[in-house]
Structure 1
Amino acid sequence: MTSPRPVVAGADTHSETHHVAVLDAATGAVLADRQFPATTTGYHAILTFIATLGQLMRFGVEGTNSYGAGLTRHLLAAGIDVREVIRPNRAARRLRGKSDPLDAITAARAVLADEDLPLPKTSDGPVESIRVLTLVRDSAVKARAKVLQQIAMILVSAPAGKREQLQSLDQKTLLTTLRRSRQGDPVDGIEPATTAALRRLARRHEYLSEEIDETTDQLRALVEHVNPGLLATKGIGVVTAAQLLITVGDNPERITGKAAFAALTGVSPIPASSGKTNRHRLNRGGDRRANNAIHTIALVRMSADPRTKIYITKKLAEGKTKLEAIRCLKRHIANEIYTLITNPPAVPDITDLRPARLVRGLSLQNVADHFGVWPMHISTIERGKRRDDELANRYRQWLTTA
């Protein structure tokens, strides 16, 4: 009995349909292609269709984290070797034309020719929950900023009395005043209408702020569940930790090493040598949101971490510009983050700090004065709102020896 011939498949994914092409893995010949609905029934039909043609060796899917996410999850659950196929650029499409069958065949040929195509994110764990909550938070932050712009625009053209009354107030006082203002009937004139508009915008700002705070707390809980070591690292907050986890996904094993993670986050320098010139240039590829997160961590450490300040000073003394020194720092941070994500460290418990402080009759101000920080900093550490293991360990030692 002859064994079934090995085949590879490729899928061009859309919101309602997926077009699948099957190639002979030995010759590269196109065996068949067909369109299926993007539903659970359609996913089962795809595997049945391929099984009639041969034994599936590998499946290339376009858009594994968008239109192809459902198909990718179904294939991974079935034990299929799935690879992410990058959509062809526009120049390539102009040369060979554009259609769903052609795109599916191209995806199959790509997965047949390239063994190093990236593994897709599984998108079925807590990191996917972090991704969708981050999406909600980001949209609320943008909407809140837009509200402030709209308030400023209305104040520019507001009646003189109203404008003079409000323009000297700081932002917090202004928003409180607008929320508490008495709403008149807009039909009575421009001033009551302006007051009503500003009142609604101020209340919208308050609602969005509450939504942002609530979503941030949910993100903090998820990040601490997935990788508490990230939040325990100096310079990494909830938002930056969430973005870095999103970039890696629920299956960090798909990132093969520190160099691969650096390339993924756009902090790996790209060779730009020619002739007698030997240099590297800035990498503008990779996940730009992850790159921004690493840049934020670098800036925080440059302002608050003594070791980072020494490192930057050393790089500047070597003749590097400040931007070049920051790029070197970002690469080191990327290496550290890769280790934290792929080999999470144990994070010590901090729930003992507040009871120990109260037993000794110390106030937050007493502790803050001893360590030279703000009382709120100590409070956030005690409540688990901020991770600073170095300070927490010194704090615990001081409480037990004082």
Structure 2
Amino acid sequence: MRLEDCRADFPITRDLIYLDSAATSLTPKPVVQTMVEYDLRYRANVGRGVHRLAAVATHRYRDARDAVKSFIGGEDGTLAVTRNTTEAIGAVVAGLAWQRGDRVVTTLLEHHSNLLPWLRLRERGVAVDIVQPDADGRLDLADLEAAVRDETRLVAVTHASNVLGTVLPVREIAGICHDRGTRLLVDGAQSVPHLPVDVADIGCDYFCFSGHKMLGPTGTGGLWMRRPDLEPLFVGGGAVESVTAGGYTLAPGEQRYEAGTPPIAGIIGLARATAYLREIGMDTVRRHDERLAARLIDGLAALDGITVMGADAETERIGVVSFTVRGMHPHEVAQVLDEAAAILVRSGHHCCQPLMEHLGLPDGTVRASTYIYNTEEEIDMLIATVEELSRRIV
């Protein structure tokens, strides 16, 4: 599939310029149609009945989960279906047996969902060490390595910053963790939609991601585990092999982590989303995002009164660009862009308030985030509209 041909699958793009995919991506028609087909043709619960609809639904659901697992290169591990990245990270927090005196290492680049759960562990006597990036969002690996001590049970880092677009060297971080005998969790919410991802090649122990940022439906996501060594977050129907009045035996593999009815239509839709991305090619997606980000960074950086945050366009990055307009609150900028040119961007702290404080941005930033349905003409329209704003305030 050519990128030029895919815009027809996203009707919203006819009426506006959507540049908020880092929050939630748009969903193409084939994904929606796949989910509708489940509801209209073979809607039934999975793993429970023996009638024909249950058999079809179970087969389609398990195939879909396998397809999502394959998309991230996780065939040799275990993929538990979750509602989102936040739930996946929470399942790791809840699934490990923490002891007083344990330590966790994370960074100031993290989304609140990969920071607050670790801070909460302080209530149980677990210490949290936070590594600070430089002003461009780069981590010094020597600083991270120095933070990993004998008591460190786990390192938790984002794969790509949802504020600055910076891609972290997760393979190198995995090497540090393995050398020091600690586990690595990678937050892949921003990387899976935009970069070719191979969890086996990364070498992480846990990898968390969301479906709604990668053309899939909301309420879907995944927790990939190199080994199924976590206690399940929930137990109940569907997660057990046998139950007596005296106890229970959990089911093997993924099933033990999926108590209750899973988001059946959602996961089938998410699998279709991964197929859609495969048809385009993730290397093509990556290059497209990099090209649009470079165009936007160069265009904004040339304007008076505009400050672009993060590393330059030559740095490995996803299509996320944050900026500020002198004399204007980010929310005001976002509102003007919407009303004046139907350009939709995110504004504020982006669920990264500690990072904003570190960067000296108490009000946050304006964030434009691209995806496969965005064009160079849309980027130029954003630059031109921001230029008009900057002229008003000079």
Bigger proportion of residues as helix: 1
Tell me the TM-score normalised to structure 1 length. 0.26
- Greater relative contact order (Cα < 8 A, sep 6+): 2
Q: Larger Rg: 1 or 2?
A: 1
